[in-house]
Chains A and B, each alone.
Chain A
Amino acid sequence: DAGVIQSPRHEVTEMGQEVTLRCKPISGHDYLFWYRQTMMRGLELLIYFNNNVPIDDSGMPEDRFSAKMPNASFSTLKIQPSEPRDSAVYFCASSPFGSGGSYNEQFFGPGTRLTVL
């Protein structure tokens, strides 16, 4: 398997523009996670899906952020409108279901470095 795939790897945009980040999880994984990493706040969970259904979006900072998972092999994170404070590295991760009743080992994609000018 190619691992978790994210696109684009780098995105530079101007304030007010719409940004769409894409993720393809590892085939067969039941869970998909979106994270944001900044120097100030570290790694923050934004939202996660189980079998394409959003389970917890309490980490989504505000209504400008939205995430979808239309099928098991694709997810998007959209920011509209974007602001300079959204500049960060956005990671997608996927995980199989664990025998303990929760998700198991997480595998991360390479991330998308977003810069909003």
Chain B
Amino acid sequence: KQEVTQIPAALSVPEGENLVLNCSFTDSAIYNLQWFRQDPGKGLTSLLLIQSSQREQTSGRLNASLDKSSGRSTLYIAASQPGDSATYLCAVNGNQFYFGTGTSLTVIP
């Protein structure tokens, strides 16, 4: 069974810092990987989707990379803002969608 791990579980940074969130998975036979953000009491908002044939995807201040062979993905957030505070989840699409437990990010003004 695919296992998805996100480290760290929680992260607190001052506004303006660049930061990296990590996602690792045990089975490299995947179709794609998706990053989401979840605000407290809300649903999941899709941020980026990386197909298995791609190495990275960018959207605004966000950049996600994928290294299938090592079972890793990173989400890079540039110039963090208080509005980025949320829980970030990665999900790996193999024969099912497996979610990590998330990283809770707090950006301090």
Contacts and interface: CB of A to CB of B under 8 A. Distances in A.
Interface in A81-99: 91, 93, 98
Interface in B1-57: 31-32, 34, 36, 42-46, 49, 51-53
Interface string A88-115: 0001010000101111111111110000
B70 interface: no
A43 interface: yes
B100 to A, nearest CB: 8
Interface of B: 31-32, 34, 36, 42-46, 49, 51-53, 89, 91, 93, 96-102
14 contacts: A43-B89, A45-B98, A91-B44, A93-B44, A98-B31, A100-B31, A100-B32, A102-B31, A102-B93, A104-B32, A105-B32, A107-B46, A108-B44, A111-B43
Contacts, number: 51
A106 B46 contact: yes
A56 interface: yes
B102 A105 contact: no
Which range holds the interface residue count of chain A? Answer: 20 to 34
A108 B43 contact: yes
A100 B93 CA distance: 11
Contacts of B89: 43
Q: Which among B36, B44, B52 has the greatest number of chain A C-beta atoms within 10 A?
A: B44
A61 interface: no
A104 B36 CA distance: 14
A105 B34 contact: yes
